[in-house]
Structure 1
């Protein structure tokens, strides 16, 4: 059967599934889509009936992706993100203004958004649009001016500017009353994990092994498919997360999280955060935002222990 002959599921149903997968919550997905929970649930059932597989495991008060759901979400989320970016780009062509920055959902929520108030205060004459997207968008095709990419140096695009490296540390809300992760405390801890096996430095199993703690089992491990969900769960006091120091620094500074002592490695990857610009000779407002981001990164690097 040719690719053109494959019958695709309804786009609206796929979009509903992607919204649920991003938030791991029907309630929050319904808010994002401005629909009722029952309407989102119907879209999920429509998609599952169409594909003939279960995409979600439905618990009493929680949902999780099945193996089939994980596979379909990875493909569908990137496709929906590309469509959303293209639609947004076409809309901006009518009244294009300001500077558009793209970054992953985690980097946007944890690094960019906490700094937007300061950016607007220092550069009040420039409108800024944040495109939170895990897909690697074609910057020019999507009408995006700047991107923050997470990759190794050899995979960084030509001309990319290094912002900061990756450094991890266990973090938890102060209400948990725990100050370290070791053989004594681990059996009582709930560990919060980012479900991306392609990044072992963010996996508790790998880090516990490196710290010679793999003989001791934690109380439980809770998995999330978005990194910002991991950190929000930690802020809510639900367990201990592997904090990416550059991203959780604002939470450490204001006391929403605290760093825990342990013997694990602080960094075990060549991956870093890079700033990429779409044009070799960008407009003046893009240069201003670019330089502001570089200054923020430099301030972090100067205080990084």
Structure 2
């Protein structure tokens, strides 16, 4: 005898469980459902509570089915797959094509988002999903079409396409009234905004001081940030002087949110650059449109 319809668990709970079972990963299931990991975990827990049985065995970075969980997954996975097909057929094509793009948090927040609106207006039939992630994800395995990665040439996979390089310069909000740094004494009354993320010498004030031949620099204070976009937002808010990554702050320099500060010598250099990667040898037309747009925007940075 079948269970009464009113006593069936919520479809949301079943969907969360099936998503985890398909991926055998809460993290990847959360991305598929556009939810947080904790939300997906709560769905599975709620389903287990509703059924009164354990469905998954959770180990260190691993997940396995219990016998009850495997039985439920086989039935639910097939049922949801049929439901997906039927709903797609009934709903019909929406006309919007999805392209998933991943990039670092800094590039996403400071460069990509500022330019994305114009692309979407020009291509209303293309939907772009942006995933800000500093981890070098496996594009094909995680269903990602494009990636913009940051690093040295030798660290890039085969087929990576150069977009633009990087240089740094001191920047600050115009309200601080700093136009030039001629000596260490010029910093005594100013706060420095320091990047405390992955160690990259050219982004650190100590390396920049060394490039100027300065010792014993004593700023008024130092504020530290582990996310570069937060550091730049603090600079725009007038909280101190930052080392600006020129490609990422170019728009802010152009519209006056930040001002470039001159110095006696050029700052440190790096061979790190930004690279475009795609998951498939023959990208779909909508992916090609996004790639072309990224190339055009990158060309403006190189000018």
Q: TM-score, normalised by structure 2?
A: 0.69
- Equivalents in 1 of 2:104, 2:232: separation in Å? 15
| Equivalences, count | 221
- Equivalents in 2 of 1:141, 1:210: separation in Å? 43
Q: How far is the alpha carbon of 1:214 from its aligned partner?
A: 2.6
- Equivalents in 1 of 2:138, 2:240: separation in Å? 37
Aligned to 2:219: 218
Larger radius of gyration: 2
Note if contact 1:208-1:264 (Cα within 8 Å) is conserved in structure 2: no
Note if contact 1:252-1:258 (Cα within 8 Å) is conserved in structure 2: yes
Aligned to 1:157: 157
Q: In the TM superposition, what are the counterparts of 1:53-72 in structure 2 within 5 Å?
A: none
- Equivalents in 2 of 1:86, 1:133: separation in Å? 16
Q: How far is the alpha carbon of 1:91 from its aligned partner?
A: 6.0
Q: In the TM superposition, what are the counterparts of 1:259-274 in structure 2 within 5 Å?
A: 259-274=260-275
- Equivalents in 2 of 1:191, 1:85: separation in Å? 39
Aligned to 2:194: 193
- Decide whether aligned partners of structure 1 residues 149 and 277 sit closer, same or farther in structure 2, where only a CA change above 3 A counts: same
- Unaligned ranges ≥5, structure 1: 1-81
Q: How far is the alpha carbon of 1:161 from its aligned partner?
A: 0.7
- Equivalents in 2 of 1:255, 1:212: separation in Å? 30
Deviations 1:72-99 (A, max 9, x none): xxxxxxxxxx954542236699689410
Note if contact 1:166-1:267 (Cα within 8 Å) is conserved in structure 2: no
Note if contact 2:101-2:146 (Cα within 8 Å) is conserved in structure 1: yes
Note if contact 1:205-1:214 (Cα within 8 Å) is conserved in structure 2: no
Note if contact 2:174-2:259 (Cα within 8 Å) is conserved in structure 1: yes
Residues 1:237 and 2:180 are matched in the alignment: no
- Decide whether aligned partners of structure 1 residues 289 and 197 sit closer, same or farther in structure 2, where only a CA change above 3 A counts: closer
Note if contact 2:97-2:286 (Cα within 8 Å) is conserved in structure 1: no
Residues 1:176 and 2:141 are matched in the alignment: no
Q: How far is the alpha carbon of 1:121 from its aligned partner?
A: 2.1
Aligned to 2:290: 289
Note if contact 1:86-1:142 (Cα within 8 Å) is conserved in structure 2: no
Aligned to 2:137: 137
Aligned to 1:89: 32
Aligned to 1:279: 280
- Equivalents in 2 of 1:158, 1:269: separation in Å? 21
- Unaligned ranges ≥5, structure 2: 1-24, 36-80, 89-95
- Equivalents in 2 of 1:152, 1:83: separation in Å? 32
Q: How far is the alpha carbon of 1:234 from its aligned partner?
A: 0.1
Q: How far is the alpha carbon of 1:267 from its aligned partner?
A: 4.7
Deviations 1:174-195 (A, max 9, x none): 0011111232311112110110
- Equivalents in 1 of 2:154, 2:128: separation in Å? 30
Deviations 1:145-198 (A, max 9, x none): 100100101111110111100110111000011111232311112110110362
Identify which range, 165-174 or 114-123, moves more after superposition: 114-123
- Equivalents in 2 of 1:86, 1:141: separation in Å? 13
- Equivalents in 2 of 1:274, 1:294: separation in Å? 10
Aligned to 2:188, the other structure's residue is in SS state: helix
Q: CA RMSD for the aligned pairs? A: 2.1
- Equivalents in 1 of 2:126, 2:254: separation in Å? 28
Q: How far is the alpha carbon of 1:142 from its aligned partner?
A: 1.6
